[in-house]
Structure 1
Amino acid sequence: MATPVGAARFCLLAGRRVTSLSVRHRRAVSLPQRRCYISSSTGSNLQFRLDERTAHSSLDLFKKDTGVIYRMLGLDPSHVQDNPERFRDWAVVFGDQKISSGRHYWEVTVKKSGEFRLGVADAQMSREDCVGTNSSSWVFGYGQRKWFFMTSNKIVPVTLVGKPDRVGILVDYDAGLLELVDIEKPSIIHSIRVQFKAPLCPAFGLWDGELLTHSGLEEPEGLK
């Protein structure tokens, strides 16, 4: 569980950034090849957990690493195990599985959060960036009571009435599709075409409240 310490928290136009008063001098590092399983399934039942090695120090994982909760102060980054896979500046965490082919579906329950991002990112994406601010990540986000799609720091409004407690994410790697799903109907809320070129990981950003992931699910009928 995160231990509160003195910290400063501020926002940038491109995203939300979290830092500590006692952040150490950071050095440039190159990401090694991640030791995680590569999904070879062509179905929609990708099974993953959240990867603690990537989690920012303000994020606590729970429920056997399927959920994440945001702690405003979090841990002093100098007290978190130092590794090049961890996001040091942004409240981001990746799933522990890679997607390199096929059609995959998972759902996310949102609790007490007014600002979050859900989607996918290149497994080797720079840990200096926030998801949605570069060309290696594609996310649906919610902030200021509005939904949007974001990549390369460009925001596209998504028309959606209200904030559902649970939404679906559908990614078709081969077809180059990322879709936000209304699980109640079910139906596609918004669809984006992307030319994926590298293995992807489920990606999550969270700046208040908590998220619970539900993977290993079959895609709802009628979405194809």
Structure 2
Amino acid sequence: MWTQKGRKGPKHVSTEKKKKNMATPVRAARLCRLAGRTVTCVSVARSLPARRCYISASTGNNFEFRLDELTAHSSLDLFKKNTAVIYRMLGLDPSHVQNNPERFRDWAVVFGDEKISGGRHYWEVTVKKSQEFRLGVAEALMSREDCVGTNRSSWVFGYAQRKWFAMTGNKMVPVAQVGKPDRIGIRLDYEAGVLELMDIEKHTIIHTIRAQFKNPLCPAFGLWDGELLTHSGLEEPEGLK
């Protein structure tokens, strides 16, 4: 079991032209002791319709967000109008980034800029050349000293070492999934306490995390190589109703 520190240096880079000289951060070890509350995860193997048909979400509004640059670690560079993020090995010198309490200083994490306090919501993520990332939700006021998945205020699906896992409370649960889809769906039902990972290409729900959400949540992302492109404002796929 392991967690990955944000390669000392993840902060948000608004496509800065040139990065200050700084020592190349040593790639932190992948393995980390995980301890804490066991997360209750339920694997779901039901098939979705072969046809990608959409219906309106229960809230009546399609959830739309961008990535919040105020939260982004210095090694994370936002682009495409803050809908995408790329990991930069060097990143910016943390001392040259605006210091604010919302920013992750030690972990390569960024939040979405919208809060969720109820309803059912759906978004997708395109993964490009990344072999290590985390996708899910976290409480808006989660400690910026933690990484998503390592505490009881974040719930994520992660991919590393060619394997999937579900994680919260610093407890990792393997997810039986072969391969890495290029595009992934995330569905959140706040009242039901359900967070689901969907394989868009195979039209299946890969895994479900069940929890009790009590505080406002934000979409949450951890990235240690490659790129992630978010797609929000989508209607919920029919098979996830």
Given the alignment, which residue of 63, 66, 69 partners 2:86? 69
Q: Deviations over 1:165-199 (max 9, x none)?
A: 10000000010000001112422110111100100
Superposed displacement of residue 203, structure 1: 0.1
Given the alignment, which residue of 199, 203, 209 partners 2:216? 199
Alignment of 1:1-224 (within 5 A): 1-2=15-16, 3=19, 5-9=22-26, 10-11=28-29, 13-14=31-32, 42-43=59-60, 45-224=62-241
TM-score between both structures, scaled by the size of structure 2: 0.79
Q: Distance in 2 between matches of 1:160 and 1:118?
A: 15
Q: Distance in 1 between matches of 2:231 and 2:61?
A: 12
Superposed displacement of residue 222, structure 1: 1.5
**Taking structure 1 as reference, are residues 44 and 158 closer, same or farther at Cα in structure 2, changes over 3 Å only?**
farther
User: One-letter code of the match for 1:114?
Assistant: Q
Q: Name the one with the larger strand percent.
A: 1
Q: Distance in 1 between matches of 2:86 and 2:202?
A: 28
How many aligned positions are there?
Answer: 199
TM-score between both structures, scaled by the size of structure 1: 0.85
Q: Which runs of 5+ in 1 are unaligned?
A: 16-40
Q: Distance in 2 between matches of 1:46 and 1:190?
A: 21
Aligned to 1:34: none
Contact 2:25–2:89 at 8 Å: present in 1 too?
Answer: no
Higher relative contact order, chain-length normalized (CA < 8 Å, sep 6+): 2
User: One-letter code of the match for 1:158?
Assistant: V
Q: Which runs of 5+ in 2 are unaligned?
A: 1-14, 34-57
Runs of 4 or more above 4 Å deviation: none
State the secondary structure of the residue aligned to 2:25.
strand
Q: Distance in 2 between matches of 1:104 and 1:111?
A: 23
Contact 1:180–1:188 at 8 Å: present in 2 too?
Answer: yes
Q: Deviations over 1:73-95 (max 9, x none)?
A: 10000000010000000000000
Aligned to 2:3: none
Contact 1:44–1:103 at 8 Å: present in 2 too?
Answer: no
Q: Distance in 2 between matches of 1:153 and 1:84?
A: 23
